[in-house]
Amino acid sequence: MALVLGATFFVIYRVRATRAPGTSAPVDATGPATRPARVVPDSVRIKVEVVNATATRGLGRLATAWLRDQGFDVVSTVTAPEKERRDSSLVLDRSGHPDWARLAAASIGGARVEARPDSLRYLDLTILVGRSWRAPLQSLYP
């Protein structure tokens, strides 16, 4: 009896989970996920380093996928040491292109931008992903 009752609740839960909120229409879970719009022009190559400045494993990888889908050329992804962890994200302009830095800041949902030129790095931007950054709700790679 308990097994039948448990199976019934499970079926009801699964049916409700596959419906759009507030409607009785089923959600198409097998449809293609939409990718973010490309914000970097095709003729421009913006070399980016992504730094996971949080204790959340995999956040830098998610940010890398998100930025690549938007057209940024992410050349490395690293994790910041524990003493350099951040709450908010920060975009560092390394090559003197403040418009590129603002574009990257807007593409990750808003971040502070600072100019920190570094001619020893072959990078245009360094993006420190802070704890307040949330990965998009859509599937990045279906």
Convert the pLDDT of each residue in 75-131 to its tens digit. 999 999 998 898 999 999 999 999 999 999 999 888 999 999 887 778 999 999 999
Q: Are 72 and 94 spatial neighbours (Cβ–Cβ below 8 Å)?
A: no
Taking the C-alpha atoms of 103, 107, 113 and 68 in order, what is their torsion angle to the nearest 10 degrees?
-80
Q: What is the mean pLDDT of the chain?
A: 79
Entry pTM? 0.70
- Per DSSP, 25 falls in state S
pLDDT above 50 (res 57): yes
Sheet of strand 90-93, all strands in order from the earlier edge strand to the far edge: 73-79, 47-52, 125-129, 90-93, 112-115
Tell me what pLDDT residue 120 has. Answer: 79
* Domains of the chain, first to last: 47-129 (3.30.70.2390)
